[in-house]
Amino acid sequence: MVKFDELGLKKELVDSLKKIKFTETTDIQERVIPIILEEKSVIAKSRTGSGKTGAYLIPLINLAKAGKGTKNLILLPTRELAIQVQNVFEKIAEPMGLSATLVYGGVSMGRQAEELSYGPEFVIGTPGRIKDMFERGHLKLPKIDKVVLDEADQMLDMGFYEDVSYIVDKTSKERKVYLFSATMTDYVKDISSKFMDDAETINSSEDRMPADISHTYVVSERNMKFGFLIKYIEEQNPEKAVIFSNTKSGASFISKRLRESGYRAVQIHGDLTQKQREMSIKSFRKGERFLIATDVAARGMDIPSITHIINYDLPREQKSYVHRVGRTARFGRSGNAMSIILPEESSMLGRIRKSAGIEISKLPFEGQPNEVREDNYYGDRRGPRRGSGGGSRQGSGRKRYGGASSPSRFGRGGGKRKS
Q: Check residue 329 and give its pLDDT.
A: 82
What confidence score (pLDDT) does residue 210 get? 67
Q: What confidence score (pLDDT) does residue 317 get?
A: 85
Answer yes or no: are the C-beta atoms of 293 and 243 closer than 8 Å. yes
| Strand arrangement of the beta sheet that strand 241-244 belongs to | 265-268, 290-293, 241-244, 308-311, 335-341, 213-219, 361-362
Consecutive sets of 10 residues in the chain, 419 residues long: mean pLDDT of each? 90 94 90 95 83 95 96 94 94 92 93 96 97 97 97 89 97 96 87 92 68 93 97 96 96 96 92 83 90 79 85 90 84 88 96 91 96 58 38 36 34 37
SS (H, E, C) 221-245: CHHHHHHHHHHHHHHHCCCCEEEEC
According to the model, what pLDDT value does residue 298 have? 66
pLDDT of residue 95: 84
pLDDT of residue 353: 92
CATH 3.40.50.300 placement within the chain? 4-203, 213-410
* Whether 176 contacts 39, CB under 8 Å: yes
Residue 299's pLDDT is: 64
Helices of type H across 137-243:
152-155, 161-170, 186-195, 225-236
- Fold classification of 213-410 is Rossmann fold (3.40.50)
Question: Residue 179 pairs with which residues in a beta bridge?
Answer: 43, 149
What pLDDT is recorded for position 395?
37
CATH fold for the domain made of 4-203? Rossmann fold (3.40.50)
Calpha distance 266→259 (Å, rounded): 9
Q: 283 in helix, strand or coil?
A: helix
> Which residues are CB-contacts of 285 (< 8 A; sequence separation ≥ 6)?
303
